[in-house]
Structure 1
Amino acid sequence: MSRFSIGDRDFLLDGEPHRIISGALHYPRIHPGDWADRIETARRMGLNTIETYVMWNAHEPLRGEWNAEGWNDLGRFLDLVAEAGMHAIVRPGPYVCAEWQGGGLPAWLTAMPGIGLRSSEPTYLAEVETYLRRVYEIVAPRQIDRGGNVILVQIENEYGAYGSDKAYLAELVRITQDAGITVPLTTVDQPQPQMLRDGSLPGLHMTGSFGSRAAERLATLRDHQPTGPLMCSEFWCGWFDWWGNEHHTTSAADSAAELDALLAAGASVNIYMVHGGTNFGLNNGANHKGRYLPIATTYDYDAPIDEAGDPTDKYFAFRDVIARHTTVTEPAPPRAADRPEVTAPLTSLGDWRLAVETAAAVADAPPTFEDLTHVSALIEYTAEIPAEAFGDAETALLTVDGVRDLAWVEVDGVRVGSLARTWHERRLTIPRGRTVSILVEDQGRVNYEKRIGEPKGLFGPRVAGLPLVGWTATPIDVAAVGERLTEATAPAEPLTAPATAPVALRGGFTLDAPSDLFLSTDGLGKGYAFVNGFFLGRYWSNGPQRTLYVPGPATRAGDNTVVLLELEGTAETQARFVARPHLGQSVQ
């Protein structure tokens, strides 16, 4: 067993100075079949450590239903890191940000009446303690002083950007130490004086998060952390994408120069992200700084290791920098190869809503997603329109107090328009009819600042100023529908013309062997994609991304199936898998 500690100027491994050269990998963003590959590729870049967040809502989407298996097997992930001969850093939050749904905080938690998020409020702390103790049951026996590989555990996450409740931080420390965590505890904040003061406690080792002006930011960090090693525990080497924007990239040369400056100053580093991965399923978060912006499915992050696990120009530039400051002996992995190009003619399975098996709820006002304990993306709301709403006119004005986050409106089964939160839309002219149905999509829960935990759904619908009452709300489990339609045996109609929505489309294709793929979304509208029942995530013609990554372990030799749950309609009659990813027009 070894010992890891903090010295006067350095991290100490068995009493000797040790520099951490780490990279962030989020295990829920990587297919478990690819964990070992991504860890090994990171190691061959010259890293000696892997860091990961723990996403509470991935492990416990419903209260009391804790899951630490499969995609959530943190223990196996840490063991694979150890098998690669690398140390590990664990950041369990409970808040993680990470452009992840709700910043990692479960919707059932944020919906609790009177709860005080990220504070010493008792209800919140009680739930946090239960969560953290479950995580530490996994982490504690894997600490380096017990024969494992975990060398650091982080308390909270960039807390100085949110609050200054020292009693809250103290409780997190108490819980962590009482649960058997004995390795050094750290905090991270942007190197701004107020954030550093608010986000830490005496006895916690401060680290910084930044991606440029390394010398200046290390100096600010040193002002507030006068002893011990300097560390940038989030070295931002890229950025994330959101729907409707460009694909964000950073210069490999500029990022490598900043990394060189960090290492030349003697600092330790954790590269965020060394490999970003993918917001598979419905795991993307959202930002809101005056305008709601949902995060895209890709979390490529312009990282050194791309979304498919291939080394990039940035990888080789970083590897060269690291080799100037430490020994890098392993050969570099090969550059990216083209993936198979295949085509799957599509058939129509009809309206995918017919495959919904969840029971509807009835209420005077539209219930929220939280009211229905619904953690998937869609609820369909239906109500009768009062006849007096139209009078002698053939149209009337539908208004809402708000929609979170995107809604498609039907009158008597005919789609008549949509309302988008991103565009601040709250009114729509509808034709005369008896019944209105409004399909509402949660496009991703805000993962930053004060909007964490806001309810999702339809708010204050009226027609001609008259409130609509007597709502039927049908929660739709998107993943279950996709899996059900993958296995459906009912006859399907060949798609001979572009499809109108809502519609389920299915196609078959063959592979010689399991392989990564890139599903082109050009010509598709908006919806959800599945391969062999594996939920790839959301697609949207709004861009920037034009492909969805299909991990090799989700495919098989021989026959494979692709299913699309289309919300807006297509311009294509086939699904195409292309050789290379297309994440959109780049901007630096």
Structure 2
Amino acid sequence: MLELKKDGIFINGEKTLLISGAFHYFRTLPEMWEDRLKKIAACGFNTVETYVPWNLHEKQEGKFDFKGILDLEKFVQLAEEVGLYVILRPTPYICSEWENGGLPPWLFKYEGIHLRTMDPVYIEKINRYYDTILPKMEKYLITKGGPIIAMQIENEYGSYGNDKNYLEFLERAMTSRGINVPLFTSDGPTDNMLSGGTLPHIWKTINYGSRTEEAFEVLEKYQKDLPKMVMEFWIGWFDHWGHEHITREPESVVEEFEVMLKNDISVNFYMFHGGTNFGFMAGANYDGKHKADVTSYDYDALLTEAGDITKKYEMIKELLKKYEKKVKKHKNHKFYEIENSKKKNYGTVQFTERTELFKNIKNLGKKYISSTVKTMEDLDQDYGFILYETNILGNYINKKLTLEEVRDRAMIYLDGKYLGVIDRNNNQEIFLTIEGKGKLSILVENLGRINYGPKMKDKKGITDHVRLENQILFNWEITTIPLNNLEKLSFLNLEKIDENNPSFYRGTFIVKEIGDTFIDFEKWSKGVVYINGFNIGRYWENGPQKRLYLPKELLKIGENEIIIFELHKFGHYLNLFEESKLG
């Protein structure tokens, strides 16, 4: 078992540092898990850490999913077989640049719900979730002979709130369900964060990227008699669409890590392997403007998005050899022989078939009639797009259109003619002229719910009303378009090309030898890519990411299908390259 003492961490009576790598199973296909876990072990680490995303495991309320990429038990079992201990973070909120911070968007359909506090509805939903997931994990605790050595009760709570009753509830929710390994919190190393986010008797860990001595001077005021641990050592960073690609020099990571090793500080590298925000699961930040995260979660980690070894990896591995005696390994641990995956250049994919979104609405979504606009959450929609349409009677000459509020990006059409974009950040001005009758269509894209901070209750679609000047428009047809199943689309040979008419384009390419590849979207504007029916994620000409990672596990020998849902500009073809291009 794991014991926390003033002079250190002990596993089965033996003193050790925890040298852990963050690796999220839900950001990497299950066929890759063993490879990534072996690379963590081969680097000299003894532990793997992962979050658990509530919004994937309970995507629809009351319906739980633990299959495929969500097979958490398989992941934990593999970690043990490879020879790694497991730190599990099954908290309701995970942040992690993940859509809505891991909270299911269906929570928002409960009017007036308050998140991350003792709101009775919120607490009821957590109890049901924990009744399902914690019994699955209980048998893998180290106290039962398994690899799970510690669990988190809340994540960076001091950056959000200060409800100690809520933290105590989460502690009881775990212990009453048989969780008897050390529990912990993790917060930034500031007084306000540690004051709000911790409990006196719970192990306090901290998250940061540099200035180790300063960070632990602050923690020392709140915890003196338990071992020191950095639960998130930020060795890189994440990217937002429209902003620069961020990296961190390996030398600065190694220098900071050695300070921790010399001072007997345990550490979890965030991230060891970042992976990919597949589908619509990338989150967003808010600092006065909504900043959507890119599809890649490479994070400039020790392994690339494709799982390849980096200079940072090699330098950390070499440093750990000096301190090997401080890091006791799991009985199954080995220094595995590892290698990078094979990469392939599959050349150019031509697109010869097309079908328009607006001609396929019945095949893609569900229509509702409402006197007022409704959000996605009001209509039990989680991700994708939502279409609002209304007929306006009368004469309106050059009247300003206002969406109050749009979340996140709306394409505006009048009688089928594209007029422009209104997004939540820039709120561009569009004026309508209607003489007698006009049909207004508004296609809204969810770019990712905010995953951090006080603006997290981030409903999607149009959240209040639409108006011309001061006149609110009523009587809407609303169609939810989650884009989770494209099987009913009927493609035609590509003949005409018109911009700003959202459309699906279909192409195929032949694979003779399977390998990882990267989809270059240089000629395209904005949209989503599907490979053999699997949603790879979003692309956007705004950058910085210029290519999407396509894992070999999604390919097959022979013909492979690629469907592009493009909002603005047909790019004619795509290239599949051997190299990534993140910025």
Partner SS for 2:132: helix
Correspondence 1:409-448 to 2 at 5 A: 409-425=412-428, 427-432=429-434, 434-448=438-452
- What is the alpha-carbon root mean square deviation over aligned residues? 1.8
The equivalent residue for 1:99 is 97
User: Could you say which residue in structure 2 is the equivalent of 1:457?
Assistant: 461
User: 1:182-227, CA deviations, whole angstroms, 9 ceiling, x for partnerless residues?
Assistant: 1111111111122212211132101110110112212322332101
Partner of 1:275: 273
1:156-175 mapped onto 2 (5 Å cutoff): 156-175=154-173
- Percent identity over paired residues: 36
User: 1:154-197 CA distances to partner (integer Å, 9 max, x unpaired)?
Assistant: 11101111111111111111110011001111111111122212
Q: Structure 1 CA distance, aligned partners of 2:421 and 2:192?
A: 43
Q: What is the distance in 2 between the residues matched to 1:515 and 1:209?
A: 36
Residues 54-453 of structure 1 mapped to structure 2, 5 A cutoff: 54-326=52-324, 330=335, 333-334=338-339, 338-356=343-361, 357=363, 358-390=365-397, 395-425=398-428, 427-432=429-434, 434-453=438-457
1:485-507, Cα deviation, whole Å (9 max, x unpaired): 4xx5x543278x68653111111
User: Which stretch has the larger CA shift, 552-561 or 197-206?
Assistant: 197-206
Please list the CA deviations of residues 3-47 of structure 1 after superposition, one character each: whole Å capped at 9, or x if unmatched.
Answer: 111122211111111211101111111111211111112221221
Worse-matched range after superposition: 523-532 or 128-137: 128-137
Counterpart for residue 573 of structure 2: 574
Structure-2 residue corresponding to 1:556: 556
**Residue 379 of structure 2: SS of its match in structure 1?**
coil
Opposite residue 386 of structure 1, the aligned amino acid is L
In 2, Cα distance between equivalents of 1:222 and 1:110: 39
Number of matched residues? Answer: 571
SS across alignment from 2:563: strand
Q: String of CA shifts for 1:254-298, please: whole Å, max 9, x gaps.
A: 111111111111111100011111110000111111111111111
The correspondence of residues 432-511 of structure 1 with structure 2, limited to 5 A, is: 432=434, 434-458=438-462, 459-481=464-486, 483-485=487-489, 490-493=491-494, 501-511=501-511
Deviates more, 1:295-304 or 1:193-202: 193-202
Deviation at 1:145, TM superposition (A): 1.5
Deviates more, 1:533-542 or 1:448-457: 448-457
**Equivalents in 2 of 1:470, 1:244: separation in Å?**
36
Q: Secondary structure at the match of 1:65?
A: coil
> C-alpha distance in 1, partners of 2:488/2:49?
36
Query: How far has the Cα of 1:367 moved from its partner?
Result: 1.0
Query: What is the one-letter code of the residue matched to 1:493?
Result: L
**C-alpha separation in 1, matches of 2:515 and 2:564:** 20
> How far apart are the structure 1 equivalents of 2:394 and 2:569?
31
- Contact 1:278/1:300 (<8 A) preserved: yes
For the 8 Å contact 1:110–1:117, the answer to whether it is kept is: no
Per-residue CA shift, 1:123-179, capped at 9, x if unaligned? Answer: 221211211232211211001121210000011101111111111111111110011
Q: Report the Cα distance in structure 1 between the residues aligned to 2:376 and 2:523, rounded to whole angstroms.
A: 31
Q: Structure 2: how far apart are the matches of 1:324 and 1:441?
A: 51
Q: CA deviation at 1:337?
A: 5.7
Assess if the C-alpha contact under 8 Å between 2:346 and 2:576 holds in 1: yes
Q: Which moved more, 1:505-514 or 1:293-302?
A: 505-514
**Residues 28 and 276 of structure 2 are in contact (CA less than 8 Å); yes or no, is this contact kept in structure 1?**
yes
SS across alignment from 2:139: helix
C-alpha displacement at 1:331, in angstroms?
A: 6.1
- Give the whole-Å Cα distance in 2 for the aligned partners of 1:484 and 1:575: 24
Whole-Å separation in 1 of the counterparts to 2:369 and 2:113: 27
Unaligned runs of 5+ in 2: 328-333
Range with bigger deviation, 146-155 or 32-41: 32-41
Quickly say closer, same or farther: Cα 1:344–1:34, change in 2 above 3 A.
same
Counterpart in 1 of 2:331? none
Asked if structure 2 preserves the Cα contact closer than 8 Å seen for 1:396 and 1:464, the reply is yes
1:428 corresponds to which letter in structure 2? I
Give the CA deviation at 1:323. Answer: 1.9
In structure 1, stretches of 5+ residues that fail to align are none
1:47-106 Cα offsets, whole Å, 9 max, x none, are 111100011101112211111111211111111111111100110111111111111111
- Are the structure 2 counterparts of residues 179 and 323 from structure 1 closer, same or farther at C-alpha, using a change threshold of 3 Å? same
Structure 1 pair 173–464 and aligned structure 2 pair: CA distance change class (3 A): closer
Contact 2:418 2:500 in 1 (8 A): no
Query: Cα gap change, 1:353/1:514 in structure 2, threshold over 3 Å: closer, same or farther?
Result: farther
> 8 Å contact 2:198–2:204 — kept in the other structure?
yes
Q: Does the 8 Å contact 2:280/2:448 carry over to 1?
A: yes
CA distance in 2, matches of 1:451, 1:548: 29
Match of 2:425, as an amino acid? Answer: T
Give the whole-Å Cα distance in 2 for the aligned partners of 1:498 and 1:385. 26
Q: Structure 2 CA distance, aligned partners of 1:74 and 1:331?
A: 23
Are residues 223 and 9 of structure 1, via their aligned partners in 2, closer, same or farther at CA, if it must alter by over 3 Å?
farther
User: Are the counterparts in 1 of residues 508 and 560 from structure 2 also a CA contact under 8 Å?
Assistant: yes
Measure, in 1, the Cα distance between the counterparts of 2:126 and 2:340. Answer: 43
User: Which amino acid counterpart does residue 445 of structure 1 have in structure 2?
Assistant: R
TM-score by length of structure 1 reads 0.94
Q: CA deviation at 1:381?
A: 0.5
Q: Secondary structure at the match of 2:220?
A: helix
Q: Distance in 1 between matches of 2:308 and 2:495?
A: 36
| TM-score, normalised with respect to structure 2 | 0.94
* Residue range with higher mean Cα deviation, 340-349 or 279-288: 340-349
Aligned equivalents of 1:419 and 1:475: distance in 2?
Answer: 19
Deviations 1:384-411 (A, max 9, x none): 1232223xxxx43212222110000111
Corresponding residue SS for 2:308: coil
Cα contact 1:26–1:52 (8 A) shared by 2: yes
